[in-house]
Amino acid sequence: MIFAEKISPNFNRKKRPRNMIKFLIIHYTGMQSERESINRLCDPNSKVSCHYLINSSGKIYRLVSEKNTSWHAGKSKWQKYRNLNSYSLGIELVNKGHRWGYKNFKAKQIKNLIKLCKYLKKKYNLKKQNILGHSDIAPLRKKDPGEKFPWKKLAKKQLGVWHDLKSETLQKMRKIKINKKDRKVFFSNLRKIGYFVKPSLKIKELNKITKAFQRHFRAELANGISDLECLKISINLSKKYQKKA
Ligand SMILES: [Zn+2]
């Protein structure tokens, strides 16, 4: 693949062995404009970057070499992994995000994201389970890429995982309350999937993790409340994520 280059200085100078690369993490830029986003990701004072950025017309920029750890994920956790920067490639999609006017991702942008993900998945022999959003690995801090991101479409192309439940069946379960015992099952499934769930978390934190799960797997309603639909999806997915990352 051919990329346009923009050089970001925000990466670890020491190169990593290629078998350390296990995850693709998808972001949105969450800034007012493309230019502002690129400037920030290349500004030595910002201390943030990514490997690739895709603008709304689908143009792909490379900011940091895949061999280097770029600074896109921050404090993060997934399954047994901590601080996923070291184990991942970060891809930013230009989008104003929740703060400035969250927009649908453009068709060309997603088309080229799919191309890029296929290329990287093959190159590093990545598992489809390990293609995730920033909010999956940092649910207490992050919302990106958000509920407008087409996870199901990517999963159809083996880029990510999706459940195999019928949407008509699921819709009937939406907003149906679950009891305390089932809520426990729900969070235990989230942990099996990879989300960072532990007993000491506060209710507010658990709600944020629920929201992150919903943004990814039940984007029609991301309200932070686990209902019967969420429970069923979590049961189905926990089996699919059993294969460890
Ligand atoms: Zn992000």
Q: Is 92 a catalytic residue?
A: yes
Q: Which of 61, 65, 44, 43 minimizes the C-alpha distance to 53?
A: 61
Is the domain spanning 167-240 CATH 1.10.101.10? The answer is yes
Annotated domain spans of the chain = 4-156, 167-240
pLDDT digits (tens, 9 = 90+) for 28-49: 999 999 999 999 999 999 999 9
DSSP 50: -
pTM beyond cutoff 0.85? yes
How far, in Å, from the CA of 110 to the mean position of ligand 1? 17
Reported confidence tier of residue 160, pLDDT bands at 50, 70, 90:
very high
| Whether residue 50 has pLDDT greater than 70 | yes
pLDDT for the residue numbered 243: 59
Q: Which residues surround ligand 1, an ion (CB under 5 A)?
A: 27, 134, 144
Pick the catalytic residue: 36, 92, 147, 229?
92
How far, in Å, from the CA of 216 to the mean position of ligand 1? 14
DSSP result, 79-93: TTEESGGGGEEEEEE
How far, in Å, from the CA of 126 to the mean position of ligand 1? 20
pLDDT digits (tens, 9 = 90+) for 164-204: 999 999 999 999 999 999 999 999 999 999 999 999 999 99
Cβ atoms of 134 and 97 within 8 Å: the answer is no
Tokens of 91: 């891809």
Architecture in CATH for domain 4-156: 3-Layer(aba) Sandwich (3.40)
